Structure 1
Amino acid sequence: MFRTIAHPTDEFTGKRVVVTGGSRGIGAAVVQRFLDAGADVVATARSATAETPAAATFVPGDVSTTAGVQALTTAALDVLGGVDVLVNNAGAARLHLGGTSTIPDEEWLDALDLNYLSAVRVTTALLPALREAGAGGAVVNVSSAAALLPTPPLAHYAAAKAALNAYGKALATELAPAGIRVATVVPGNVVTPGGDAIRQGIADATGASLADIAAGVPLGRPGDPRDVAEAVAYLASERAQWVTGVTLTVDGGELPLV
């Protein structure tokens, strides 16, 4: 079980934060973590849910499209007046149990648009605001363990997230002279609505139970969205002022060394 951790309530006071995919699961936990530390937060997703933190400004939209990104950018800057931290968390996966050859072209393109190109487009659109905010800004991309250990039913998702990892590393090098840091978080098996659906699909296809799937986590439990939110908050904070270009795995020790 996740243990609640005491942390400063003013660490992000005055900081302006944008979180994509912020309506539920990891994204909602990230939004709440920044709110708890005093930030002003704009969250976006296609629609709000019961999990979406009420204290954030929610902007509905689809960041897998250019028009959606443009609308988000305009709304976020209108609300916040600028951006200090961007968290690219938007993403989703659909299982294709027949393997890579059964994944149609449109699924590959959809996976790239939502899980990779959305982050590129949002970052590019908000980069002038990040640069204007000056040194101390941060971009944190939320990837997936699938990028490091891909499986055939999720090959399209894994490829998109692997591209996100590479993009984050390149962007970190580019933005370092401006004092803007870039990092990537790689969650493992985290209990979220999307992750639960994927695990259930695998369990149904293999005859394994959800408990069996979670049994390989050395720390003895699946992840909580707040585990990932803590990692994101650290990487976005001044505590990580000399940390950039990293890919941080948050998986309870499950992934092999790759």
Structure 2
Amino acid sequence: MGQEFNFNNELSGKIALVTGGTRGTGKAIADRLVKAGATVIITARNKPDTEGDHQHFIAADLSKTEGTQKVAKEIFSKFGGLDILINNMGGSETKAGGYSALSDDDWEQTLQTNLLAPVRLDREFLPQMTARKSGVIIHIASIQAKLPLYDSTLPYAAAKAGLLNYSKGVSKEVASKRVRVLTVSPGWIMTDSSSRMMERISESSKISIEEAKESVMQALGGIPMGRPAQPEEVAELVGFLVSPRAAYLTGTEFVIDGGTLPTI
């Protein structure tokens, strides 16, 4: 007999953590999980402008060990643990210029933010998931793990490639304990920060916003769909993957890039 699902309230009673959940894709994911009935905790260094009825904010810098420990302590104290962990926090602030322009500090900060922060959070919350034999972890990686942009984001690409490999390894370790671990690798997403970047490119290059978008898509080798993703589209994929509808999925990477990657 087939299993029936309630799509509108399928995460009722679940406790979820979304890192970097105050803006952009993280906020879209948090909102999507709330709509599915989950209680959502969001973390970032700065407090969001508004906090929803079913969202709880913890201020923390997860690029540091103390930040991870703070988040874990507060979650175990207030909620008893997690059912869903979305390791969404990430980004790159390294300068352009290729490998020779990057210092040890550039590499260290990028690896801490994009690889070691998820590793530390998994280490905090996986034991209670495996003991309970229930849980889902999503690592948000990037197509740059396979399509590195060497001029400006090489450490970011390397960190995401490491996250992809790490995620696969952990999934094998905990699958028998009914904890699912998956990776979502987006391409270019049109967040508010991306919109501001288009404005800067437009102003500095004396071109239109649309021409600025085209220049970025060309730098990526083109996007067959002809546009970047919307945060809500990535959030919808994550919402499916953490739901009971995806109960047999683990250890897999899901690419959502509008066809950007030129190979399979």
Verify same fold: TM over 0.5: yes
**Higher mean C-alpha displacement, 119-128 vs 216-225:** 216-225
Which residues in structure 2 correspond to 1:22-37 (within 5 Å)? 22-37=21-36
> Cα deviations across residues 67-112 of structure 1 (Å, max 9, x unaligned)?
1100000111223222111000111112422111101110100000
Cα distance change, pair 197–160 in 1 and its aligned pair in 2 (3 A): farther
Which residues in structure 2 correspond to 1:52-91 (within 5 Å)? 53=52, 55-91=54-90
Identical aligned residues as a percent: 36
Which residues in structure 2 correspond to 1:161-176 (within 5 Å)? 161-176=160-175
Instruction: Output the CA distance in 2 between the equivalents of 1:13 and 1:217.
Output: 37
2:45 touches 2:61 (CA, 8 Å); kept in 1? yes
2:94 touches 2:106 (CA, 8 Å); kept in 1? no
2:144 alignment counterpart: 146
Higher radius of gyration, 1 or 2: 2
Q: 1:230 aligns with which of 236, 248, 252?
A: 236
Cα distance change, pair 30–97 in 1 and its aligned pair in 2 (3 A): same
What is the DSSP-based 3-state SS (H/G/I as helix, E as strand, rest coil) of the residue aligned with 1:175? helix
Cα distance change, pair 53–161 in 1 and its aligned pair in 2 (3 A): farther
What is the DSSP-based 3-state SS (H/G/I as helix, E as strand, rest coil) of the residue aligned with 2:229? coil
1:8 alignment counterpart: 7
**1:239 positional shift:** 1.1
**Higher mean C-alpha displacement, 49-58 vs 92-101:** 49-58
Instruction: Output the CA distance in 1 between the equivalents of 2:149 and 2:215.
Output: 18
Cα distance change, pair 227–24 in 1 and its aligned pair in 2 (3 A): same
1:34 touches 1:233 (CA, 8 Å); kept in 2? yes
**1:147 positional shift:** 1.1
**1:116 positional shift:** 0.4
2:94 touches 2:102 (CA, 8 Å); kept in 1? no
**TM-score of the superposition, structure 2-length normalised?**
0.88
2:25 touches 2:232 (CA, 8 Å); kept in 1? yes
Q: Which amino acid aligns with 1:25?
A: G
2:3 alignment counterpart: none
Gapped runs of 5+ residues in structure 1? Answer: 1-6
**1:199 positional shift:** 6.1
Question: Once superposed, what is the RMSD of the aligned Cα atoms?
Answer: 2.2
Instruction: Output the CA distance in 2 between the equivalents of 1:73 and 1:117.
Output: 15
Cα distance change, pair 37–23 in 1 and its aligned pair in 2 (3 A): same
Instruction: Output the CA distance in 2 between the equivalents of 1:31 and 1:169.
Output: 24
**TM-score of the superposition, structure 1-length normalised?**
0.89
**1:50 positional shift:** 3.1
2:247 alignment counterpart: 241
Cα distance change, pair 225–44 in 1 and its aligned pair in 2 (3 A): same
What is the count of residue pairs matched by the alignment?
251
**1:233 positional shift:** 1.3
**Higher mean C-alpha displacement, 159-168 vs 79-88:** 79-88
> Cα deviations across residues 4-45 of structure 1 (Å, max 9, x unaligned)?
xxx822110011111111111011011001000000111101
